[in-house]
Structure 1
Amino acid sequence: MTADETELPRGIALAWGVAANPQRGPKREMSVERIVETAVALADADGIGAVSMAAVAAKLGFTPMSLYRYVSAKDDLLLLMQEQATGLPPEAHRDHDTWQAKMTALFEAQVLVYLEHPWILSLPITGAPITPSSSAWLDAALAVLEGTPLSDTERLATALSVMGQSRWYGIVLAGYAEQARLTGLSPEDVSAREAALFDRVITDEEFPALRHAIDAGVFTDEGDPFRFGLQRILDGVATYIDRRENGEPAEAEAAWVEGEAEQVLADKRVRESRKAVRDAEKALRTARKEERVALRDARARVTRDAPK
């Protein structure tokens, strides 16, 4: 079968508007667009767990079977929800002068999407989302890099790095926002509470580097570690571009393809050695727990027996 003959899954066909319309069912009152809008509204209000074919049907005043004539599977509905919530990238990113500034603007816009629709982050990644909106975001990022000497593969790698950073940032920000909603604490209060918890359990003997970081106040610092990470990614790509412009050849990178990974993990010796590592790690965790208890008890005895 050629690429032109490849049949689109129904969810993707619906996203592109090329799926066949249902032959039966309510007219005018029901449409794929209205079903998706209702599902997105449910997810925005109560989380992705509130979305089911029955819940969407009830919200619309129809039976679940009515929905299945339009959206034949829940996975298709989730795909269409993500497509609508993602939307198109803002044109304003084109107004910036440098490719770094344009990529940063796309990063910020993507993070805002995640904050507005945090349930997107709970959807599993099962492959490239071949839908109009998702394709538009990737196209925008690749277009930003068109004037650079990066190869097509390197441009894609750069775009995926920035998009991955925005997703990771969105996960953290959405999690803090949810904690603030549940507890009534501000994000700053949540960070302070986490820092206090770290301070209670992290010792210099067991985690010296992390203890030093805690004492330095990294968890309550007003700096943004994710934006710092993004800028270092862009700085690294910029340095690589400079080297390419100065005539240095592209770096050869070892490929780690999915098939090779599966073969490695399927190797009996690899499985046995990984199990041995897990057993050793479990024993180490147990020993460290016993050590913490012993140290705590020893400190308690010293405090108790100290001269008053």
Structure 2
Amino acid sequence: MEHQNGDNLPKGVALSWGLIKQSQRGPKRELSIQQIIDATIEIADKEGLSAVSMSRVASTLGFTAMSLYRYIPSKDDLLLLIQDAVCDISPLAEEADSDWREKMRQYVKASIEIIQKHPWFIDIPISGVPIMPNQLKMVDRGLRTTRELPLNDFEKMSIVLLLSGYARSCGLIMKDMDRAVQAGMKPSEFSGLAYSGALKELVTSDGFPDLYPVLMSGAYTEENQAANTVGDDFAFGLERILDGIEHYLESKK
């Protein structure tokens, strides 16, 4: 079946939907787009996005860069394809006793896991609404969490954006933390715990009236975990978002 709308899409997007027919001219085709995508993801996972180039990917596969261009027109198109590829994850568990809050937790967790498994994912800037197949499956998965809620389509999309934005923010912090530790920084340095003594001398109640008591309590640098009533910061933040959604639902009754 021919799809005329493919002409309006970026080449990488059209390729992801199978809208571009591969040319049969030239040498016998010994590569596939999937092979190129897999090789690129492997490089990006191990060395980061900066290590990805058409020549590097081609060399890994035993071909020249020009060979790759017969399959994928540019590096930008290749980046679109690998970004979409890692969004191909399992659907939400359809559990009868799973409420909307739990489904949203699952959605956020799955979104964060993409960034944890592929830290380079978040290094590719957002250039618009998702339009590639696996990314749209993620949107569909997010919308499924709102299926039973008394919301209109605009409200549902706003909630999915809220959850996705929180997942992206958490993923970014986790990625930076992991990179810092891999570079040799101790976890206590990242959390500020290693500097708590110095900070208590530098931060005064006059200069930092609201930070000072938080720092002295040990909450700022995770110094006094025995008194921590929050637990995991990311989980706590998500629960407060879900509380807000629940309050909004109650207000509509």
Q: By the TM > 0.5 criterion, same fold?
A: yes
1:94: how far off?
Answer: 4.7
Indicate the residue corresponding to 2:69 in structure 1: 68
Indicate the residue corresponding to 2:175 in structure 1: 174
Indicate the residue corresponding to 2:242 in structure 1: 234
Query: Cα 1:197–1:181, aligned 2, differ >3 Å: closer, same or farther?
Result: farther
TM-score by length of 1: 0.72
Show structure 1 runs of 5+ residues with no match. 246-308
The higher-RCO structure (CA 8 Å, 6+ apart) is 2
Contact 1:26 1:66 in 2 (8 A): no
The reply to whether residue 83 of structure 1 matches residue 84 of structure 2 is yes
Show structure 2 runs of 5+ residues with no match. none
Indicate the residue corresponding to 1:55 in structure 2: 56
Indicate the residue corresponding to 1:147 in structure 2: 148
Query: Cα 1:183–1:239, aligned 2, differ >3 Å: closer, same or farther?
Result: same
Identical positions, percent: 36
The reply to whether residue 21 of structure 1 matches residue 19 of structure 2 is no
* Aligned-partner Cα distance in 1 for 2:251–2:194: 45
Counterpart residue identity of residue 158, structure 2? A
Once the two structures are superposed, the pairs formed by residues 107-186 of structure 1 within 5 Å of their partners are 107-183=108-184, 185=186
Query: Cα 1:211–1:156, aligned 2, differ >3 Å: closer, same or farther?
Result: same
User: For this pair of structures, how many residues does the alignment match?
Assistant: 242
Contact 2:87 2:138 in 1 (8 A): no
* Aligned-partner Cα distance in 2 for 1:93–1:200: 54
Query: Cα 1:225–1:197, aligned 2, differ >3 Å: closer, same or farther?
Result: farther
Root-mean-square deviation (Å) = 2.3
Counterpart residue identity of residue 184, structure 2? T
Query: Greater CA radius of gyration, 1 or 2?
Result: 1
Query: Cα 1:103–1:126, aligned 2, differ >3 Å: closer, same or farther?
Result: same
* Aligned-partner Cα distance in 2 for 1:203–1:93: 53
Counterpart residue identity of residue 146, structure 2? L
Indicate the residue corresponding to 1:45 in structure 2: 46
Counterpart residue identity of residue 23, structure 2? P
Give per-residue Cα distances to partners, 1:73-101, cap 9 Å, x unaligned. Answer: 11111010111122224332656511011
TM-score by length of 2: 0.87
The more displaced of 216-225 and 117-126 is 216-225
1:180: how far off?
Answer: 1.3
SS, match of residue 130 in structure 2:
coil
Give per-residue Cα distances to partners, 1:2-59, cap 9 Å, x unaligned. Answer: x974622211111112212133355442111111111100000000110011111111
* Aligned-partner Cα distance in 1 for 2:135–2:60: 28
Contact 2:92 2:107 in 1 (8 A): no
Query: Cα 1:188–1:112, aligned 2, differ >3 Å: closer, same or farther?
Result: farther
Counterpart residue identity of residue 9, structure 1? P
1:193: how far off?
Answer: 3.5
* Aligned-partner Cα distance in 2 for 1:194–1:176: 17
Q: Greater helix percent: which structure?
A: 1
Contact 1:89 1:137 in 2 (8 A): no
